[in-house]
Amino acid sequence: MLFQVGGQGTRPTFFEMAAAQQLPASLRAALTYSLGVFAVRSPFLHKVLDYDDEFFALLMMVLESHSLRTTDASFSESLYGLRRREVKISSNKSTSIVESNDKIRHSGLQRHQKVLSVVFLVILPYFKSKLHSYYNREREARLQASLWGQDEPRLDEAGFLLDEGETSHARVEAASMEVSSMTHLKKKIIAAIAACYPWIHASNEGLTFAYQLLYLLDATGFYSPGLHVLGIQVCRATGQELMDSSSRISRIRSRERERLRGPPWLKAVQRALLSCIYTTLDYAQTGLIAAVFFFKMMEWWYQSAEERMSAPTVYPPPPPPPPPKVAKDGIPLPPDRTLCPLCCQKRANPSVLPVSGFVFCFACIHKYVSQHKRCPITLMPATTEQIRKLFHDL
């Protein structure tokens, strides 16, 4: 994935930035699908699926914090060899020409920028997901209310079935007392979200699209409004930065090991825990990407299998039955297939007898079957209603 390292210029392409931005969504879809598959055999995983927003936000907070701390890049940006740099604009005034030339100088991220980056990468998307779910829930409730109408009996917050003329005044008062002020406040908040969220979402999407369009046209160096607010630009990592990252991580971990306090056995336990955490973080990127690829492949495999199972089975046509045998006392067949077996003349108005499949003249076979009630060749029982006329000679 680091094929762009050392490429022309330090500014990433639009497609690199788009791929880095879409990776968390793909990762969440893959993890949700994998947990859904495992939840079929392990029901306790359904509790994780009930809180999938919180679970994914916690996971991404750990990954993003570790990635920003060690590489000055988000989890997805580090996979594409990108780094976040603070933008500082300095103006140089020349003595001969009275004009200022602004130059952009990049430097490493400060501590508060890393914290705010985690907020923009994890906290804000989490709240956006929750607001989106609340909005969808309120919209479905309004749609259901508009479909069923307000005259139907409904279930209020206390669980009583209310209907005009059947509920006593005391019961209504008891139900209203049980409805707390927090419930009313929650309803008001959800109603406010339902009213404001479409405008907030449309404004955010429009502003993001404008920044991406300007970035594509090389009119700005900020890919998103969040990066502009933080004063951060994303640049390609140089080869030296990639080589220095491992030594930087080693220094950070050495300092953390030196800060351990306590008796020797406690230090040993702490070192073991730190080693497990470091190993997990080192292989988290590779493991998660491998998991995404694996579960996407499994999804394709099961989807193909389901399509094959749901598709109607097409069986080959059965082989034709063997030709009927001429009875010992039946009329022999003429050598020419165009002749009628009864009159031995060329068939006129050809008709077939389905019980045997032989073709005769209509007048000949109708007269014979009317008299003998059988096929003249195979002697199989037949009636005149079974005779079928053919519209071309065989």
Please give the Cα distance from 95 to 82 (Å, whole number).
Answer: 38
The answer to whether residue 186 scores a pLDDT higher than 60 is: yes
* Nearest residue to 87 via CA among 58, 107, 59: 107
In order of 3, 37, 279, the CA distances from 287 in angstroms are 20, 18, 11
Return left, alpha or beta for 355; rule: phi > 0 is left, psi -120 to 50 is alpha, else beta: alpha
CA distances (Å), origin 351, targets 146, 162, 168, 304: 67, 76, 84, 50
Whether residue 361 contacts residue 340, with contact meaning beta carbons closer than 8 Å, is answered with yes
Question: What phi and psi values does residue 186 have, to the nearest 5 degrees?
Answer: -65, -40
Q: Please report which confidence band the pLDDT of residue 367 belongs to, taking 50, 70 and 90 as the band edges.
A: very high
Would you call 71 exposed, middle or buried from its count of C-beta atoms within 10 A (0-12, 13-18, 19+)? buried
| Run of H or E residues at 20 | helix 14-39
pLDDT digits (tens, 9 = 90+) for 206-262: 999 999 999 999 888 889 998 898 888 888 877 666 666 667 777 777 777 777 777
**Side-by-side strand order, sheet with 388-389:** 359-361, 350-352, 388-389
Mean predicted lDDT score pLDDT of the chain: 76
Cα–Cα distance measured from residue 261 to residue 278, given in angstroms and rounded to the nearest whole number = 19
351 contacts 390 by C-beta, under 8 angstroms: yes
Question: What whole-number percentage of the chain has pLDDT above 90?
Answer: 10
pLDDT in tens, 378-392: 889 999 899 998 876
- Residues 281/78, Cβ–Cβ less than 8 Å: no
Lowest-confidence segment of 206-220, 270-284, 315-329 by average pLDDT: 270-284
- d(Cα 3, Cα 46) in Å, to the nearest integer? 40
Looking at residues 43-47, what average pLDDT do you find? 75
**pLDDT at position 104 over 70:** no
Residue 149: the pLDDT is: 60
- pTM higher than the cut 0.85: no
Of 335, 326, 323, 322, the closest CA to residue 379 belongs to 326
| Mean predicted confidence (pLDDT) in 264-283 | 77
Q: Please, which pLDDT band fits residue 309 given cuts at 50, 70 and 90?
A: low
Residue 49 — very low, low, confident or very high, per pLDDT cuts 50/70/90? confident
- 56-59 contacts: CB < 8 A, separation 24 or more? 56/28, 56/31, 56/32, 57/122, 57/123, 57/125, 57/126, 59/31
Say which range, 119-123, 150-154, 266-270, 280-284, has the weakest mean pLDDT: 150-154
Higher pLDDT, residue 303 or 10: 10
Nearest 5°: phi and psi at 162?
-100, 135
